[in-house]
Structure 1
Amino acid sequence: MFKFDEFWFGTNRRLSTVHCNARRTDECSLLRQYIEQSWSLINNHEIHSHQVLPFHSYCDSFWNSDSRRDENISQCRQSWVCASDQWKCRTGQCIEQSWLSDLEWDCADGSDEEELLYEKIKYLEERNPSFGSIVESQSRFGICNKTHPFACLSLRTSSNHYKCLDFTQLGDDRIDCLGAIDERNTLKHCNHTSMLEYNFKCPSNNICIRYLWHCLPGYRCPNQTDDEQWCFHRSSSSSCNTLLDFVCFDGKCIKWGKCNRKLDCSFGEDEYMCDYRSSSTSIIAYRQDKEIHVNNKIHSLQLFHFPKKANITQFNVDSNTSNQLVDHYSYKKSSSSILAYRCNRGLGIFSSNNSIICFCPPQYYGTYCQYHSDRLLVLFHLDLSQSIYSVQIHPEILLKVLLLFFFENQVLMTNEFQFQPALEMNKINKKTFHFVYSRSSKFREERMKRFFNRSSVLHSHPYSIRIEIYENHRDKQVSLIAVWKYPVEFDYLPVFRLAEVLRLTKPNPCLTNSCHQNEQCQPLSNDNSKYICLCKNNFTGPNCSIEDSRCKTGFCATQALCKPDYQSLLRGNHAPYCICPFNRYGDRCDIEHDLCQSHSCFNGGTCLPGSTLDQLVCLCQDDFYGSHCQYKKATIRLFLYDHPVTYSALVLQYFVIDYRLLRLILAHQQANIMVPSLIKYGHEGTIVPELVLAKLYSSYQQIPSNFYLLSFHINVTSIEGTTMMTQQNRCPSISQLSV
């Protein structure tokens, strides 16, 4: 069972505690929203304990599982049906028509090369009229007949040197030919899990040798009697022993004649055990291009439409406009490879004297960023699912999150980012920040002392992380709404990772308010039994008794908060720290920056500032989407009638078809307590979801639910019509189908 089945978005709050029942209904909207998103959440986070194969991956001539169960020949032969544009092997496997007679086995039994085998027999019979064809065995190599068309060297040389096999003997998991060439597509390679393919398998041991190199010095079976029947002619000739030379069974030397697609020897043995790949001297995966083609093939489906009388707009490929934005900027690649590697993980810049200056990321320092910094990694997720904010929060509320790294009461480093509750209420976004310890001699000596003082390590924690969240409204002063404080318990380690989930719970008053006049009491959100006294705006010093003159005289812009001692020790702490209001930026919040003034949202969209300085967010009208609401959604409008069935809940599901893997992907779902008379959905894409299902529950305890097909249309940009829920369009459970 997935954790999302019991807990809110995988957190520690049980869904059973959500207030949506006969006594309380204040969180029903949250639960309904959760249901609508639950399927996609599970699809994105689940981990399968076993491999799941697409339906069309079975009997496609490729091994898609280690067990090879997808290419079970008996099952393929008995029940598999190929598509109209495919060719069916004697084994029941399905391959592309273009793969026939291409000198490469695609079927397990090589039946796709059947015509070439027949042509070879005919050619050899005409070339050697005095030799009649045989069925089972002969004393010479080469000529077989159409009932047993495959000629090979016999595995059991004591009885017959050569054999002719029919197609039932090829790919049957039984080795009949020397080197197992008759089982090249059914046996595993000696050293890995792929097919044996173009390799000679030594009978006495698990050694595989490529056809191209076999019989050359150093490329023989350890027990040379295993391949003596095939290699003895080559080893007996000193003038015909290069890679592509071939010695026929009658002793004739064919220079550059091995596997050249010409039958030079009397019985064609020079074209035996050949690897005809275009670059056989390099290592190319067996049938690689064909497997890539199969895995990326877009399948066409010719299916019915439902409801038949719906008004639809067919998608026109020629009228499709690309949604890709054009990049008008070009970047020049540095001609110097020295610059790319000189600064390790940093960024190298050429100075005016042609020397390299390295700008290091927080984790590194040194002239060339060659040293690791002792650092603190802070990873957290802001969870608003149970917070003071509701789903209907005003879109212009912006949260500014401030992170402070303390040594005792000194701020060492600060970091901040913005968060928009209206857009990110139900998103699981994790934020990561790096804080580095000071490398000054004072702080290094302090940490060294703690490293050797067990009592200090256990009972004293001078380093801490404090997280403050401020609420930001347009044209209003910034206000503090929540504080978290975490001690750094392992500060003596070179790297420490702090991971927390921050929850904005409804605020409680400070139980014992002993804060001074210029201090603000704030409960700790990670421990509601404790509170912290923070200096009010402009104040600092012991008990916040000193009003900073710079803050008092307007160091920060209007409606900003001025914090005299937040600037951080590592930056000198020479000036106050300003927490900026809405659309204000800069060290003193004196830069007014509103992207919405220079960039507009189309089609009636509402422009809002994003979480970073260069980002804006457009809240689009229902019928439009895109970064600037520039695209019109593909729409479905279905009037629902004739639903006499009883129910307790209804979930509408919209599926798109993956034409490559032939699977359904849930695009959207809506939870309803009543069956709507009008089903309306706008899809962010060129065409509407092909399949619309109604998932109906007759009672809260009913599992499984009843499914009804409401719409099925392929390659359509809009649908408007009437549908229903009756026995005629009900989808029966698999358990109800007769075998």
Structure 2
Amino acid sequence: MKGYSFRCNSALALSLCMAYAYLCENRCKNRDDQPICFYRSTIGNCSAPTDVTCLNSAQCIKGGRCDGSLDCPYDEDEFWCPRTTGNFEKSYYRQIKHRNDVDRTFDLHIPSYPQSHRLSVDFQRLQTTIRTKKFGRTVLQYESILRDSFWCNRGVAVHVNDAIECFCPPTYYGKRCEYFSDRITVVTHLDLSHFQFDIAMNNDTNVFIKILVTLRHEYNILDWHEFHVQSLIEINEPVKHKFHLLCSRSPLHLKIKQERQTSRQKIFHEHPYSIRFEAFELQTNQTIVELRAWHYPIYFDFLPSFRFATMLRFPSDYNNVSIDSCRRHRCQRNSICRPLFSTKNLYYCSCKQGYYGQYCQFYNDQCSVYCSPSSLCKGDYFIQSHGLEQPLCICPRDRYGPRCHLRFNSFCSKDRCQNNGTCLYTYDWSGETHYRCVCQDHFYGNVCDLEKVPINIRLSTIENVRATTIQFYEINKQSFQLDIVHQTVQSGLAEYIYYKHIGEVVPPLCLLKFYDDLFSFRYFIGYFWLSVNTINITRNPWFCPKANTYIEKLNISKCSSTKNFFLLLLLPIS
């Protein structure tokens, strides 16, 4: 069977290629069509086109072929009905598919890539003649097709005067975005667990930290990226940042890469590429305080891409004045020695404003007038991969732009957040989320206008347990699985359970796990109620005696979280 016809193997057949709809009316001489035309019998009184002989029976069913009634033991009398209508329309889907294929107008137009010539000045839409067969007739149709659909590969084509310019994504370059960029993908977030700041000095409980990330070749900066961290938000909800840093494709760096590829010893023992994360605290008085930096070497060259993932941590003793890596530094007078966060007993020389170079011996005159007065100018941040020659301006709080002359609008009015919520401005460059409300414990929502539902459970049982695991579950209405929404662990017996849930009703299931020792535990049900908006009860939890038996039968590890088999245990209890 191929397409919409059947080809017999025998060359002596009446028709080598027979139409699907008439397959069993004209039979193949060597009976190649027997698996399809099994119902046709050679018995004289059962040879009509609508007569059927069942597979495992010699009984003849007169007129039973494709009549909508299942007469044979395996319903084979209704099998392969190409011309049936009524309740069995799906059986002749090949006819419908073939008709739709014939009626379709083919308007596919794929321009060649890469094209050997530039586009002409005239970008008017072309009138293209397309010939199709429709019920045996030739139809002329005109379609409008743009010639530059695939001109820029993965980029965006923009008409500029009489030519096309391509806006390439970071991972591609070239006039038509046809080449891959040598790049490094960075994935990181800032851990604030050991971060300390002087609230009395700043008079602000929310500290802004700017992280400046640079890709370096020895002492030259190839590319950079920056992101902001808000301490009150990310102390408990760290944000993962992912971005690209591009390697320079200048003739000098291409020559360096070619030389390194021919020397295996250089690749093994010399690591000129590195990534540095510099941290700056943005204070409310428009002051920028440089904290320290994390510095990581790249141990092999890009092939053509490399992925670097790390967590930026503040050491627990970084404010200890007795531990100072800069006691015996060799920084020059135009720089300041600062210890490294990433490596103990090591330091780096941070150039003062406007200075740059290995020993901060050069000064960029643009820094005296280029950046805003309250910003910090870095004179050596010439982005070779971007073709930029301006220095980099590190903007203070509430400022942005290449020269820090633009100011963020103040969206945090006094009544922005309800119920004593704290309004925090977000550095959202998309403009979708200008601020965020940090709510009090009893409220939630975009502006803290919704109140959490309370759960208070006092256990009246007397159990001698080493630990208690408390879990609250929602029931997935489609899969009937249990989705955990909150869990906590307490030492000993949890006599009192208190939880504020974000939602209109409480989770329907509270599950308790009593540990008698490390590998021996019992399951209990705190409650199982549906559509309740508050819980305040004192009760004995329901014991689930068969829970461990179910776990063993399902071969589930005792340390894994439970899912859907608890629904079976809840049915007799509820």
Q: Which residue of 2 aligns with 1:562?
A: 377
Contact 1:478 1:561 in 2 (8 A): yes
Aligned residue in 1 for 2:10: none
Partner of 2:547: 734
The residue number in structure 1 matching 2:166 is: 358
Identity %: 27
Matched, 1:500 2:318: no
Q: CA deviation at 1:398?
A: 2.4
One-letter code of the match for 1:497?
R
1:563–1:262 CA distance, 2 compared to 1 (3 A): same
**Is 2:456 the partner of 1:638?**
yes
| 1:135-534 pair list within 5 angstroms | 216=24, 227=35, 230-233=38-41, 246-248=50-52, 258-261=65-68, 271-273=77-79, 278-282=89-93, 341-351=150-160, 356-373=164-181, 375-382=182-189, 384=191, 387-388=194-195, 396-425=206-235, 430-475=240-285, 477-491=287-301, 493-506=303-316, 507=318, 508-510=323-325, 512-534=328-350
Distance 2:227 2:214 in 1: 12
Q: 1:617 aligns with which of 436, 440, 449?
A: 436
Q: Distance in 2 between matches of 1:671 and 1:266?
A: 63
Contact 1:519-1:544 at 8 Å conserved across structures: yes
Q: What is the CA deviation profile of residues 417-469 of structure 1, one whole-angstrom value per residue up to 9, with x for unaligned ones?
A: 12234433455754332222323323222322222233433333333222212
Cα deviation for residue 656 of structure 1 reads 1.0
**Compared CA separation, residues 401 and 229, structure 1 to 2 (3 A):** closer
Q: State the partner residue of 2:3.
A: none
Distance 1:570 1:627, change over 3 A: same
Q: Is the 8 A contact 1:259 1:270 kept in 2?
A: no
Shift in Å at residue 516 of structure 1? 2.7
Contact 1:557 1:588 in 2 (8 A): no
**C-alpha distance in 1 between matches for 2:36 and 2:339:** 87
TM-score computed with the length of structure 1 as normaliser: 0.53
How far residue 499 of structure 1 moved from its aligned partner, in angstroms, is 3.4
Aligned residue identity for 2:157:
G
Gaps of 5+ in 1: 1-211, 284-334
Q: Distance in 2 between matches of 1:219 and 1:640?
A: 82
| One-letter amino acid of the structure 1 residue matched with residue 531 of structure 2 | N
Separation of aligned partners in 2, 1:721 and 1:219: 80
| Residues 561-602 of structure 1, C-alpha deviations (whole Å, 9 max, x = no match) | 221212423445533312222222111222221463479334
Q: Which amino acid aligns with 1:365?
A: Y
Q: Aligned match of 2:411 in 596, 599, 607?
A: 596
**Paired residue secondary structure (1:279):** helix
Which of 577, 582, 601 is the matching residue for 2:397?
Answer: 582
Alignment deviations for residues 330-363 of structure 1 (CA, whole Å, 9 cap, x no partner): xxxxx9766654322112334465x543210111
Query: In structure 1, how many angstroms separate the alpha carbons of the residues matched to 2:306 and 2:292?
Result: 25
Residue type of the alignment partner of 1:539: Y
Contact 1:690-1:715 at 8 Å conserved across structures: yes
Alpha-carbon separation, structure 2, partners of 1:723 and 1:235: 83
Once the two structures are superposed, residues 493-536 of structure 1 have per-residue CA deviations (whole angstroms, 9 ceiling, x without a partner) of 33333333433223252153222333222333333242211213
The two structures have a TM-score, normalised by structure 2, of 0.66
1:479 partner amino acid: V
Amino acid at match of 1:622: D
Residue 682 of structure 1 aligns to a residue whose secondary structure is strand
What is the CA deviation profile of residues 131-169 of structure 1, one whole-angstrom value per residue up to 9, with x for unaligned ones?
xxxxxxxxxxxxxxxxxxxxxxxxxxxxxxxxxxxxxxx
Alpha-carbon distance between aligned partners in 1 of 2:157 and 2:25, rounded to the nearest angstrom: 52
The residue number in structure 1 matching 2:112 is: none
- Counterpart amino acid of 1:504? F
- Bigger helix share: 1
Alignment of structure 1 residues 662-701 onto 2, 5 Å? 662-673=480-491, 679-697=497-515, 701=517
The residue type equivalent to 1:576 in the other structure is P
5+ long unaligned stretches in structure 2: 1-19, 54-58, 82-86, 95-143, 554-574
Query: In 2, Cα distance between the equivalents of 1:234 and 1:367?
Result: 73
Paired residues of 2:355 and 2:380 also in contact (CA < 8 A): no
Any conservation in 2 of the 1:607–1:619 contact (CA below 8 Å)? yes
Q: Is residue 379–residue 433 contact of structure 1 (8 Å, CA) maintained in 2?
A: yes
The number of aligned residues is 457
- For residues 515 and 231 of structure 1, the distance between their equivalents in structure 2, rounded to whole angstroms, comes to 96
Report the equivalent of 1:301: none
User: Of 655, 660, 679, which residue of structure 1 is paired with 2:473?
Assistant: 655
In the alignment, which residue of structure 2 is the partner of 1:160? none
Paired with 1:665 and 1:267, the residues of 2 have a C-alpha distance of: 46
| Larger strand proportion of the pair | 2
Residues 364, 379 of structure 2: 8 Å contact kept: yes
Contact 1:656 1:667 in 2 (8 A): yes
Match of 2:352 among 525, 536, 549: 536
Check whether the contact 2:511–2:525 (CA below 8 A) recurs between aligned residues. Answer: yes
For residue 158 of structure 2, what is the amino acid of its counterpart?
I
Q: For the aligned residues, what is the CA RMSD?
A: 4.4
Residue identity matched to 1:462: P
2: distance between equivalents of 1:219 and 1:469? 83
